[in-house]
Structure 1
């Protein structure tokens, strides 16, 4: 697999961050809770998804902004 499978893209001007899993857009997250829910819907169990987000997993790449920040700078 090339690159990181989960990407949280730069914050949008109106807030929120696009989330992709293996190149597929899965939603627009406005919080870590949203991100956990999207990962759960993508097939990752909720406890694992929560651990991944809270623990800054190597499987998640945060682009164009600080991790866990969803508002545009």
Structure 2
């Protein structure tokens, strides 16, 4: 997989965020833990990167702490 093409897209109306790698849709995340699970399923070596601060993950429409649909 081309790690340089991993994108966590801007939140949708429900707060979910698509996760893609190039043209491949990897999954839908509702919080940061979902992003981690999606990347593990895609065989991204999470021992080599820090999901929240990695240069190989592009966060669009907000960073890893921005989940507007999430209510505590």
Query: TM-score, normalization: structure 1?
Result: 0.75
RMSD (Å), alpha carbons: 2.2
Return structure 1 stretches of 4+ with deviation > 6 angstroms.
Answer: none
How many angstroms does 1:66 deviate by?
A: 3.0
After superposition, residues 33-72 of structure 1 pair within 5 angstroms as: 33-45=33-45, 47-48=46-47, 51-54=49-52, 56-71=53-68
Question: Given the superposition, is the C-alpha separation of residues 63 and 41 from structure 1 closer, same or farther in structure 2, using an over 3 Å criterion?
Answer: same
Q: Distance in 2 between matches of 1:22 and 1:40?
A: 17
Equivalent pairs counted in the alignment come to 67
Alpha-carbon deviations, 1:43-63, whole Å to 9, x = none? Answer: 124x427x4213x10000001
Given the two structures, how large is their TM-score scaled by the length of structure 2?
0.76
Larger helix fraction of residues: 1
Query: Relative to structure 1, is the Cα distance of residues 23 and 48 closer, same or farther in structure 2, using a 3 angstrom cutoff?
Result: farther
Unaligned runs of 5+ in 1: none
